[in-house]
Amino acid sequence: RFKVMEFVRDEITKGRQAYIIYPLIEESEKLSYEDLMQGYEQVKSYFPEPKYHISMVHGRMPNDQKDVNMQRFVQGDTQIMVSTTVIEVGVNVPNASVMVIESAEKFGLSQLHQLRGRVGRGAEKSFCILLTGSKVSNDAKERIKIMCATNDGFKIAEKDLELRGPGDIAGTRQSGALNFKLASIVNDKPLLEAAKKFAEIVCEEDPDLSMAKNLQLRKYLQSHKHQGSWSKIS
């Protein structure tokens, strides 16, 4: 960690800015990684005032205070932004060249990719540094491996889908295995696209499924109607 902070200091010396991201805002009895408030104090010890100036934002902070602290960073009044994932989207600071993500094993793959997108918006070379705890699951190792291997958002989304599972297409689960007997939503993409196209043709030709050739399909759908009721939400 000392070497990482030295690197951040070097970037700041060049006139750049940095993000340091934490997954939580306060200590949890169940989770063993460092929270934002502890991290903020550590960062202040590495980068003491008045030479360095640090902003901090998190989800429980009042919106007006959050906006002030964010604007100070955007305008270059502070060199370091210590934050949770509230900066995941909507923040554009081209001068920010480095991001350090603490406890990276606790973040999802898509979330890590979104966070990384906050740097590299200017002309200078950018860096995203992932720090982990001592105990990292195999899934977390795979997520970090993918992050280091590619910047391609499509590849990352596909891998994220493979690792988390797609959840319930017609239900409320956003992750986990589907109850397909044979098909894989990742490996059988062409087959699923063909099925979707066929379904669109059937719906356009016979929306009530009253034609003789579609009666068996209608009977099947009626028997599974309770499983697809959530699909009306979207």
The answer to whether position 70 is within a domain reads yes
Counting the structural domains of the chain, the total is 2
pLDDT at 61: 84
Check whether residue 90 and residue 199 sit in a common domain: no
Check whether residue 126 and residue 221 sit in a common domain: no
The answer to whether position 176 is within a domain reads no
The answer to whether position 159 is within a domain reads no
pTM for the whole thing?
Answer: 0.69
Q: β-strand 127-130 against 80-83: which pairing, if any? A: unpaired
The pair phi, psi for residue 72, each rounded to 5°, is -60, -40
Check whether residue 202 and residue 96 sit in a common domain: no
Check whether residue 102 and residue 198 sit in a common domain: no
The answer to whether position 178 is within a domain reads no
Check whether residue 124 and residue 37 sit in a common domain: yes
For the cut 50, the answer to whether the pLDDT of residue 29 exceeds it is: no
Check whether residue 139 and residue 209 sit in a common domain: no
For the cut 80, the answer to whether the pLDDT of residue 187 exceeds it is: no
CATH number of domain containing 134: 3.40.50.300
Amino acid at the residue 203: C
Confidence of residue 157 (pLDDT cuts 50, 70, 90): confident
Look up residue 49 and give its DSSP letter: T
Taking only the tens place, the pLDDT of each residue in 94-131 is 999 999 999 999 898 988 999 999 998 888 899 999 99
What's the CA gap between 86 and 113, in Å, rounded?
Answer: 14
Check whether residue 209 and residue 133 sit in a common domain: no
Confidence of residue 188 (pLDDT cuts 50, 70, 90): low
Q: β-strand 96-101 against 80-83: which pairing, if any? A: unpaired
Check whether residue 15 and residue 112 sit in a common domain: yes
How confident is the model over 55-59, as a mean pLDDT?
88
Confidence of residue 39 (pLDDT cuts 50, 70, 90): confident
What's the CA gap between 139 and 108, in Å, rounded?
Answer: 10
Check whether residue 112 and residue 209 sit in a common domain: no
For the cut 70, the answer to whether the pLDDT of residue 181 exceeds it is: no
Check whether residue 70 and residue 140 sit in a common domain: yes
Structural domain for 229, as ranges: 193-233
Exposure class string for 5-23: b at 16+ Cβ within 10 A, else e: beebbebbeeebbbbbbbb
How confident is the model over 62-84, as a mean pLDDT?
93
What's the CA gap between 54 and 72, in Å, rounded?
Answer: 9
The answer to whether position 130 is within a domain reads yes
pLDDT at 173: 45
